[in-house]
Amino acid sequence: MTTQMTTDGQVRADADFFQVVKERRSVRVYDPNWTIPEDELRDILQTAILAPSSSNLQPWRFLVIRDAELKRKLLPIANNQQQVVDASAVIAVLGDLKSYEKAESIYASAVAAGYMSEEVKSDFVKRTVQIYGSLPEPVAKSIVQVDGGLVSMQLMLAAKAKGYDTVPMGGYNKEKFVEAFGVPDRYVPVMLIALGKAAKEGHPTTRLPLDEVVFWDSMEQR
């Protein structure tokens, strides 16, 4: 186990994965005076984008809202949820409906890294652009929502592992958000994630018993 110095000067052991997962809670009260340095935000985002995605198209895009005035503008759009202004940042996770436009550069980098041959890449890119470029909009939207959910979860765990807290938010007016922040049509909102230094722990929650949510081999009525 390695140790590291956090921004508040505390040395802590690199968090164990299972501990991070168990300790993550939705935190809704943040220290309004805490600023997460940009390099730490970048570390968190860099870890988040290791998430898997459909055909590795990585359709996630992030609008990182740090500016106090912009957070105040977001407040009424997000049902006046106070965490929007008090958290260090609110990350709007967006899904790019035209993520296939980056297929060429994604697969070219796989070739450059020696993971794929040029021939396989060319074939892959051609098919990917063809398929994703002609998907009906509801299908394309559903794909970016799934991929956006995966990256969001990974972002929240990465933040927790670095000693920060988060709350995912679906409680905001997506139309007003898109309008207020000038989000172009090709990007669909997935969720907002408030990220900051907790001023009050999140309240504990429970989960359904495992046996109520898991079906082994068959979904026939139990």
Ligand X SMILES: Cc1cc2nc3c(=O)[nH]c(=O)nc-3n(C[C@H](O)[C@H](O)[C@H](O)COP(=O)(O)O)c2cc1C
Q: Which residues bind ligand X (CB under 6 A)?
A: 25-26, 28, 81, 167-171, 191, 202, 205
CB-wise, 90 or 106, nearer to ligand X? Answer: 90
CB of 167 to ligand X, least distance (A): 5
Taking the least distance from each CB to ligand X, the nearer of 28 and 61 is 28
Nearer to ligand X by C-beta: 206 or 218?
Answer: 206
Please give the Cα distance from 162 to 10 (Å, whole number): 12
Q: What are the residues facing 89 on neighbouring strands?
A: 195
Residue nearest to ligand X (CB): 171
Decide: 155 and 193 in contact? Cβ < 8 Å.
yes
CB 121 within 8 A of CB 108: yes
Report, in Å, the least distance between residue 149 CB and ligand X: 8
- Each residue of 76-109: b (16+ CB within 10 Å) or e? ebbeebebbbbbbbbbbbbbbbebbeebbebbee
Q: Write down the least CB distance from residue 124 to ligand X, Å.
A: 32
Shortest distance, position 145 Cβ to ligand X, whole Å: 10
Torsion of CA 72, 73, 79, 83, to 10 degrees: -30
**Among residues 26 and 35, whose Cβ is nearest to ligand X?**
26
Rounded to a whole number of angstroms, the minimum distance from the CB of residue 170 to ligand X is: 3
CA-based nearest residue to 57, from 157, 146, 155, 137? 146
| Residue 25 or 141 having the CB closest to ligand X | 25
